[in-house]
Amino acid sequence: MNYIPEMKLSENFQLKEFVASQTAERLKIDNRPGWEAVINLRNLCQEVLQPLRNYAAEPIHINSGYRCEALNEAVHGVGNSQHLYGEAADIHLPSLATGRRWYEWLVNHTDFDQLLFEYRRGGSRWLHLSCRRNKHENRHMAFPNYPVAPRRGNGGTEVRGASKEGAHAV
Ligand SMILES: [Zn+2]
């Protein structure tokens, strides 16, 4: 399949939003997804992200969507991450209060696999949400507080100013 950045996955989401990655750019990783992952991303948009977008009535920014193997390794994602299959996205939260409100709404109104309110000591937080193409496989696992280990630099100290994209374990 040819990669079409402007492809619409749902009314307010385009494929490129789930593919763009500073890390991939920096490391020259080709993060273009295959058609299977694109279909999963479209499903994620239609089932979870677009309904949230309609509820929020404001743009939803994707911190990290699809990750090929090389990119997932580069950002230290877990080995079986749903990001690898286009089944997951991490979204930016404009504020803690908004994040809580979105979380509650998603729990009560959408059919998801995992919904994790992830945070790292020091303040960064985001929502990880995932959805399976086969609805019957959705586990409806929701965690309102999901701590993620700090990123470690070579000297064992937390990496400061790391891109948001690097801020995920799942
Ligand atoms: Zn994630």
**Each residue's pLDDT tens digit, 4-44:** 999 999 999 999 999 999 999 999 999 999 999 999 999 99
**Ligand 1 center from residue 115 Cα (angstroms):** 9
Ligand 1 center to 90 CA (angstroms): 5
Residue-wise pLDDT for 129-140, tens only, equals 999 999 999 999
* Alpha-carbon gap, residue 100 to 111, rounded angstroms: 18
Ligand 1 centre and the CA of 165: distance in Å?
A: 9
> What are the structure tokens assigned to 56, written together?
């929020």
Question: Cα(63) to centroid of ligand 1, in Å?
Answer: 9
Q: Cβ(32)–Cβ(21) under 8 Å? A: no
Reported confidence tier of residue 164, pLDDT bands at 50, 70, 90: low
Is the pTM here over 0.75, yes or no? Answer: yes
> How far, in Å, from the CA of 29 to the mean position of ligand 1?
19
